[in-house]
Structure 1
Amino acid sequence: MQYRFNAFELDTDNFVLSVGNRPVHVEPMVFDLIRCLAEHAGSVVSKEQLIEKVWKRSVVSDATIASCVKAARRALGDDGGAQTCIRTLRGRGFQLKLTPHNAPAARSMQSEPDPASADPVELAASRPRIAVLPLQPMTAEPRLALLGDAVAQEVILELSRLHWLFVISRGSSFKFRGADIDLAEAARVLGVTFLLTGTIVERGTEIVVDVELCHVGQAQVVWAERFSLPTRDLMHVRASLAGQIATALEPRIQSFEATRAIRIPTEHLDAWSAYHRGLWHMYRFTAQDNEQAARMFGQAAKLDPAFARAHAGLSFTHFQNAFLGFTRNSDEEVRRVRRHAERSLELDPLDPFVNLTMGRSEWLSGQPETALSWIDRAISLNPNYAFAIYNSALIGTLFGDGEANDEKVVRAIELSPIDPLNYAMLATRALTRSVRGNHEEAALWADRAAQSPNAHAQIFAIAAFANELIGEREKAMAYARHTRSLNPRYSIADFTTTFTFRDPALLGTIRAALTRLGFAMGS
């Protein structure tokens, strides 16, 4: 369906919000909120309706809803003061306002876009290509120019670890330097879709770097950020700044590619675009989206049989099927997790995501020690890989080391503060408290995890037992009911076969708490 309101158009079939034929990037949760308001344009949508439609009845805090509404307003060129697009009716809910010359118009898609009229960049069957230009010093000090080149070179080295990204070498990209560079011409000569540019300046005792990532074909700034570090150790500044920049770049490019892929008609998807459309669905953590993600990854693997990440993605979706109980035949899912993980490893043994999926396949098979070795290998391939660091922390916590692994989770959250798996990182912080017997703090972190977007049945089970252990029976029962609403077959065995704590006393305590909350033992 397509909804037109004010100057915007919302295409729910292709997951695109646009204004004047120009796509507006929004996170999936924000897109769902705008869709919910558009479906009831002109009417008031209550907070309860939003929770049901957008958060699938998860336990959500008012702050989370307010943050999502704020992001939706920002995407629509609105704010909480003006409320020209989204109106807040205190105590009642939210309303999508319409300008007088626009009525809500919903229509079915009559036909797919004509590929001949599409932007050729959009349909190009190639992976993203990026050039990192030398940082432009804001003063004439030679030391600053040298440091700017060094930081850019380190960023090139860090990005070169990402096998899915084509990175132009320094010898070519460093020919374009200075404040008056024609970026479009640089991109044409270098043959890239993305350019990273920036400035460097020394302010007092700090080095300050401003960077900007642009998609040249769409003349769009994808991301911009400011980094600063003390000047006392310039070698440390060089490596640390480069690591921070590269870590921030990866998810932004992936997100941009996913949004781009959604705009391409399915029959015209190349392997890379199909893979990124799969990622978009994969990180929504519902049975329907997981199934769609598997189809997209399968299409990518069919189009490019040597595409390692397509097979790793398939391994991930089958892991979700088993881990979240999306299918009944968990044994077959476990076999598929391993088969696709092994195939991806054959194709690219040095890809961090591939090594991570091997580790998760071992964990699902009841081999946490072997799993940890694979996950640590993924971290060695990319030391800033937040997803792998979090997985390492979770398994290490199950072994009983809460303190050291809590530090790892904090590191993962710092590296990826808007990660779609943030709820899982928060839940792991809860478990690091549980293994140390600090049940009060465990319950606090479990509450935060359960209130985060994408939280699933396992997260609510953690929140249930954590609150039961501190005497918060009413809250614990509410979490238990929500666990069952997400997975009616959920049992204690579903928890204990996944979270294999080495401490038998703690495991017994958790079993007893879940039993008191009415969960069956299972098998």
Structure 2
Amino acid sequence: MTYEFGELKLDLARQELIRGGARVDVEPMVFQLIHFLIQNRERLVPKEELFTLLWDDRAVSDSALSTCIKSARRAVGDTGNLQEIIKTVHGRGFRWVAQVQSNESAHVKKPPTDLDGGDDVWVEAARRPSIAILPFETVGTNEEAKTLGEAIPHELIATIARLRWISVIARGSSFRFPSTLDDFGKIHHCLGVKYCVTGNVEVLGRQISIGVVLTDTEDGEVIWADQFRSSMDDIHEVREKILAQVIFAIEIQIPLSEATKARLRSPENIDVWATYHLGLQSLYKFDANENDMAISMFEKAISLEPSFARAHAALSFAHFKTAFMHYSENRNVAVNAARSAAEKSIELDPMDPFANFSMGRSLWLVGDLDGAKSWLNRSTTLSPNFAQGIYARAWTETVSGATSVGRRLSDEARVLSPLDPMLYAMLGTRAMSHAIEGHYDEAADWGVRAANAPGAHDLIAMIAVFTNELAGNHSKAADWAKRLRASRLGITQEHFFRSFPFSDNAIRERFSTALSRHNIPEI
């Protein structure tokens, strides 16, 4: 569906504002504001309604809305003095006053006044994943349960809104659906979302049970579900756990689901998002051929949609892997490609946690640990439950010598994402932190756990070698060294230490000596 006004066109399917055939750069929130004003152009839109739409009723100042309105006017070629497109009604709200032509009637009718409005729909589903959080069903008449049934979904909306790659429906729309609704086809039809989170809350005495389910609204498939139980005294802890686990499900399970379904389609029907998710599926396999496949998929996604910031960030990640794992003889080419793709993703969307994560990792490759820390910290500030950002910070802090900080962050990442594709890296980070501190028995235990974790690669096996050697487990270290040489001929210590640029040379020498005892050459 498109709306046209003057020289401009608002394309909802592509989520683009276009002027004379050229794309106009516009922030997602500003795009959402323009779309909403156009949809409601027959009436005055109160300021309060816009606060609900854009910030989900979070406490923000009037100046935040003024800034957003100013950006919207700039995007469509209007000004506060002219007000030829967006008119301010002082003290009350705003109106869209420009003439609009649309193909709305062929695709989307006006919003229903009743949820049983038959064929009426609100929006056309966007190509990128979108999600709605419904109020949780409450069992019984307990007032605390009713409060939690709305409070937890509200917090989920606010938390998911920080993830830049998925759109979340505002509370004002999703909370119009009753908590007991289980007709996911209707949710998909009315809200245009691909995924939906539902739940239930039951309080028995001082015990509480909360169930949460993530469902694909197109086919009703349950993507992820979990049950959380605690006493009411610990409700804040279980609330934080729910937020963390739902974010994990969205960040990990949705991409896996998207990739699996994409493989069932014929290649000519795979769109940009499916291509991106196919790339992610290959990205998390530490294999040179799979990594080449990931690069190919991300480059294809970018060719389909050059402004797709996350595809550029993922491409940076793939080139990072090429350099980190020494898949190419010319490591510098991969280092530069990782940096270039990361910079492009930041240029396109500086608020995307994954873009900031990729930028930090690209600096890691050249040994700029302070610069890496800055970008990685920013990634987790933007999304506090971003497990991969937290583990990358753990890695950086550990290699910098801040072992206790690294260990804490590593544990936090594992709690947030216990089935993460990078679990081996989280375990390996903890192993290195113990080894640096001289706690070799603990280091050896965590080193073996890391090397045995799904997807663990050669450099993780090298951690198992030197941690066991330092712990006095000489035969176990020899066994891991044998496995290492069998899996990758010609591997040297240089591969490891170029990928892990320890700031303390004494630590490097200690690990190097342990590796040399098992005939792993320095170069």
TM range, normalised to the smaller chain? Answer: 0.7 to 0.9
Determine helix, strand or coil for the equivalent of 1:435.
helix
Alpha-carbon distance between aligned partners in 2 of 1:238 and 1:488, rounded to the nearest angstrom: 49
Q: Does 1:403 align with 2:404?
A: yes
Alpha-carbon distance between aligned partners in 1 of 2:154 and 2:399, rounded to the nearest angstrom: 39
Which residue of 2 is the match for residue 513 of structure 1? 514
Which residue of 2 is the match for residue 183 of structure 1? 184
Alpha carbons of 1:317 and 1:194: their partners in 2 closer, same or farther (altered >3 Å)?
same
Which residue of 2 is the match for residue 167 of structure 1? 168
Alpha-carbon distance between aligned partners in 1 of 2:221 and 2:370, rounded to the nearest angstrom: 45
Percent same amino acid among aligned pairs?
A: 39
Determine helix, strand or coil for the equivalent of 2:198.
strand
Which residue of 1 is the match for residue 488 of structure 2? 487
Alpha carbons of 1:508 and 1:381: their partners in 2 closer, same or farther (altered >3 Å)?
same
Q: Answer whether contact 1:154 1:239 (CA < 8 A) is retained.
A: no
Query: Deviations for 1:154-205, whole angstroms, at most 9, x for unmatched residues?
Result: 1111111111112111111111114255332232111112121111111332
Which residue of 2 is the match for residue 147 of structure 1? 148
Alpha-carbon distance between aligned partners in 2 of 1:203 and 1:404, rounded to the nearest angstrom: 39
Deviation for aligned residue 1:261? 1.6
Deviation for aligned residue 1:384? 0.9
Determine helix, strand or coil for the equivalent of 1:127.
coil
Alpha-carbon distance between aligned partners in 2 of 1:178 and 1:493, rounded to the nearest angstrom: 57
Alpha carbons of 1:126 and 1:437: their partners in 2 closer, same or farther (altered >3 Å)?
same
Q: Answer whether contact 1:401 1:435 (CA < 8 A) is retained.
A: no
Which residue of 2 is the match for residue 23 of structure 1? none
Structure 2 counterpart of 1:231, which letter? Answer: M
Matches within 5 A, 1:491-506: 491-506=492-507
Alpha-carbon distance between aligned partners in 1 of 2:521 and 2:242, rounded to the nearest angstrom: 51
Q: Answer whether contact 1:230 1:237 (CA < 8 A) is retained.
A: no
Deviation for aligned residue 1:235? 6.2
Q: Does 1:339 align with 2:340?
A: yes
Query: Deviations for 1:329-350, whole angstroms, at most 9, x for unmatched residues?
Result: 1011100010101011111111
Determine helix, strand or coil for the equivalent of 2:233.
coil
Structure 2 counterpart of 1:331, which letter? Answer: N
Q: Does 1:131 align with 2:132?
A: yes
Determine helix, strand or coil for the equivalent of 2:437.
coil
Alpha-carbon distance between aligned partners in 1 of 2:282 and 2:359, rounded to the nearest angstrom: 21
Query: Deviations for 1:473-502, whole angstroms, at most 9, x for unmatched residues?
Result: 332223223323333232222222222223
Query: Deviations for 1:41-76, whole angstroms, at most 9, x for unmatched residues?
Result: xxxxxxxxxxxxxxxxxxxxxxxxxxxxxxxxxxxx
Which residue of 1 is the match for residue 60 of structure 2? none
Determine helix, strand or coil for the equivalent of 2:212.
strand
Alpha-carbon distance between aligned partners in 2 of 1:289 and 1:263, rounded to the nearest angstrom: 19
Query: Deviations for 1:214-237, whole angstroms, at most 9, x for unmatched residues?
Result: 112212111111123432376666
Q: Which moved more, 1:192-201 or 1:338-347?
A: 192-201
Q: Does 1:435 align with 2:432?
A: no
Q: Does 1:454 align with 2:455?
A: yes
Determine helix, strand or coil for the equivalent of 1:407.
helix
Deviation for aligned residue 1:506? 2.1
Alpha carbons of 1:331 and 1:178: their partners in 2 closer, same or farther (altered >3 Å)?
closer
Determine helix, strand or coil for the equivalent of 1:130.
strand
Alpha-carbon distance between aligned partners in 1 of 2:155 and 2:170, rounded to the nearest angstrom: 11
Alpha carbons of 1:246 and 1:456: their partners in 2 closer, same or farther (altered >3 Å)?
closer
Q: Answer whether contact 2:391 2:413 (CA < 8 A) is retained.
A: yes
Query: Deviations for 1:363-400, whole angstroms, at most 9, x for unmatched residues?
Result: 00110111011111111111111111111111111122
Q: Answer whether contact 1:151 1:239 (CA < 8 A) is retained.
A: no
Q: Answer whether contact 2:134 2:198 (CA < 8 A) is retained.
A: yes
Alpha-carbon distance between aligned partners in 2 of 1:181 and 1:310, rounded to the nearest angstrom: 34
TM-score (norm 1): 0.73
Matches within 5 A, 1:353-502: 353-502=354-503
Larger Rg: 2
Structure 2 counterpart of 1:479, which letter? Answer: W
Alpha-carbon distance between aligned partners in 1 of 2:212 and 2:314, rounded to the nearest angstrom: 31
Alpha-carbon distance between aligned partners in 2 of 1:129 and 1:184, rounded to the nearest angstrom: 14
User: Structure 1: where are the runs of 5+ without partners?
Assistant: 1-123
Deviation for aligned residue 1:267? 2.5
Q: Which moved more, 1:132-141 or 1:299-308?
A: 132-141
Which residue of 1 is the match for residue 69 of structure 2? none
Structure 2 counterpart of 1:166, which letter? Answer: S
Which residue of 2 is the match for residue 197 of structure 1? 198
Alpha-carbon distance between aligned partners in 2 of 1:139 and 1:222, rounded to the nearest angstrom: 27
For CA contacts below 8 A with separation 6 or more, give which structure has more relative contact order: 1
Q: Answer whether contact 1:131 1:195 (CA < 8 A) is retained.
A: yes
Q: Answer whether contact 2:131 2:193 (CA < 8 A) is retained.
A: yes
Q: Alignment length, in residue pairs?
A: 399
Which residue of 2 is the match for residue 9 of structure 1? none
Determine helix, strand or coil for the equivalent of 2:520.
coil
Determine helix, strand or coil for the equivalent of 1:232.
helix
Alpha carbons of 1:239 and 1:465: their partners in 2 closer, same or farther (altered >3 Å)?
closer
Q: Answer whether contact 1:152 1:242 (CA < 8 A) is retained.
A: no
User: Structure 2: where are the runs of 5+ without partners?
Assistant: 1-124
- Computed over aligned residues only, the root mean square deviation of the Cα atoms, in angstroms, reads 1.9
Structure 1 counterpart of 2:247, which letter? Answer: A
Deviation for aligned residue 1:272? 0.6
